[in-house]
Chain A
């Protein structure tokens, strides 16, 4: 039985490591998009775009800013925030990453709605970022809802509370 528990614990750690890796990679791509759009905005450069004028129309619209801050810059901050949350151990890190991804996802959906029904133009960078935020929302939700196995001592005895906390800390450090 203890072997089964140890295996479950190991499997949990492996899956969590993979989730963190995937989230990290997606965030890196997001940081690239956010940094590019922020740079273009503040330098006053033309956005590289596949469709004629779509990106410029979207970037110059009233919806491209929130309280005077370009939404691309807010997106950049969001991706960086999710990356930082990966370095925070335990439940707090998972919750912060999940919260940022959900806010990013919901706001991306709103901006995509505005592109489709108000601006009548699409920006591939924004759609790309919305896609990344959707994936991040899914992955961080999985990570948030997964419950790590209850630690037990190898003897099969129930673990006292203090000992259980020490084991949890060790497991978190390994992850």
Chain B
């Protein structure tokens, strides 16, 4: 009798254990399914965030058209109007302070500095007054980390070709204003042509011919090598030289920072 009761208890315990195990398995499966669902939803949310974040700086990137392009060209023309240019130099050649700007046209931080940072105010205040001149030298960063590093000599030489007509800075400013996503290989012939057509007063045919000059690519390479030799390793790197010496900034500097550097070497 006792043995029969014991057997019954054992059977019940087994049933209980089995039911418990089944229920736990079901809950675990449900939990794993919810976890996978949440992870997938999170990946979609982050992907959307990344798309917004990547395009955030470029306003969609690529060439502008219509009234937006007209407004950008007007802004660039107004910024640079009346300031002397020679090749990649902006400002009075006899200016006491020289700011050498090491940049990469696809670098988003250079865009920050040029479009939203202290550069515009520096041009308006110090370059226009003849106190500072700016020399732009090429240094490959974003383009070399991007999908096609062969874009670098192409884009930088295109700017130098515009410099043959003293329009280097218009081309460079427009490039930064209409910069695309550095992760995209967007620097095509049609992109560069479209940009050149937006440069007011540029002789397009002469610019196209100048682009075929191999000395421009050689110049880009020598600028890159010279920058490497003096320890430049990021863009934008801004080196200020004046009567009181030299100082450097390596960021998308604000006007206050640039102004302080100018004062330090003046």
- What is A's interface to B at a CB cutoff of 8 Å? 1, 5, 52-53, 56-57, 60-63, 65-68, 71, 91, 95, 98-99, 102-103, 106-107, 110, 117-121, 141, 144-145, 147, 149-150, 152, 156, 158
- Distance of A117 Cα from B182 Cα, bound (Å): 11
- Distance of A106 Cα from B46 Cα, bound (Å): 7
Residue pair A1, B42 in contact (C-beta under 8 Å): no
Residue pair B23, A156 in contact (C-beta under 8 Å): no
User: Is chain A's binding surface mostly helix, strand, loop or mixed?
Assistant: helix
Check A62/B35 contact, CB under 8 A, given A67-B56, A121-B251.
no
Residues of A with C-beta under 8 A to B145: 117-118
- Distance of A107 Cα from B51 Cα, bound (Å): 11
Check A152/B46 contact, CB under 8 A, given A53-B250, A60-B112, A118-B108.
no
Check A57/B141 contact, CB under 8 A, given A63-B53, A67-B56, A120-B234.
no
Most buried by A among B42, B111, B249: B42
For the side of the interface on B, what is the size category?
35 or more
- Distance of A60 Cα from B42 Cα, bound (Å): 27
- What is B's interface to A at a CB cutoff of 8 Å? 12-13, 16-17, 19-20, 23-24, 27-28, 31-32, 34-35, 38-39, 41-43, 45-46, 49-50, 52-53, 56-58, 108-109, 111-112, 117, 141-142, 145, 182, 233-235, 249-252, 254
**Least CB distance, A117 to chain B, in whole angstroms:** 5
Residue pair A53, B42 in contact (C-beta under 8 Å): no
Sample of 29 A–B contacts (CB below 8 Å):
A5-B20, A53-B249, A53-B250, A61-B57, A61-B108, A62-B58, A63-B53, A65-B53, A66-B53, A71-B53, A91-B34, A103-B42, A103-B46, A106-B46, A118-B108, A118-B142, A119-B109, A120-B141, A120-B235, A121-B234, A141-B35, A144-B31, A145-B31, A147-B24, A147-B28, A147-B31, A150-B27, A152-B16, A158-B16
Residue pair B109, A66 in contact (C-beta under 8 Å): no
Residues of B with C-beta under 8 A to A65: 53, 56
Residue pair A152, B20 in contact (C-beta under 8 Å): yes
Q: Which of A53, A98, A156 contacts B35 (CB 8 A)?
A: A98
Residues of A with C-beta under 8 A to B53: 63, 65-66, 71, 110
- Distance of A64 Cα from B24 Cα, bound (Å): 45
Question: Which residue of the partner chain A has the closest CB to B235?
Answer: A120
Residue pair A61, B112 in contact (C-beta under 8 Å): yes
Residues of B with C-beta under 8 A to A117: 145
Residues of B with C-beta under 8 A to A145: 31-32, 35
Residue pair A62, B112 in contact (C-beta under 8 Å): yes
Residues of A with C-beta under 8 A to B12: 156
Residue pair A150, B20 in contact (C-beta under 8 Å): yes
- Distance of A157 Cα from B234 Cα, bound (Å): 71
Q: Which of B16, B42, B57 contacts A102 (CB 8 A)?
A: B42
Residues of B with C-beta under 8 A to A63: 53, 56-57, 108
- Distance of A119 Cα from B54 Cα, bound (Å): 12
- Distance of A102 Cα from B35 Cα, bound (Å): 10
Residue pair A107, B46 in contact (C-beta under 8 Å): yes
Residues of A with C-beta under 8 A to B249: 53
Residues of A with C-beta under 8 A to B141: 120
Question: Which residue of the partner chain B has the closest CB to A63?
Answer: B53
**Least CB distance, B47 to chain A, in whole angstroms:** 9
- Distance of A71 Cα from B53 Cα, bound (Å): 10
**Least CB distance, A53 to chain B, in whole angstroms:** 5
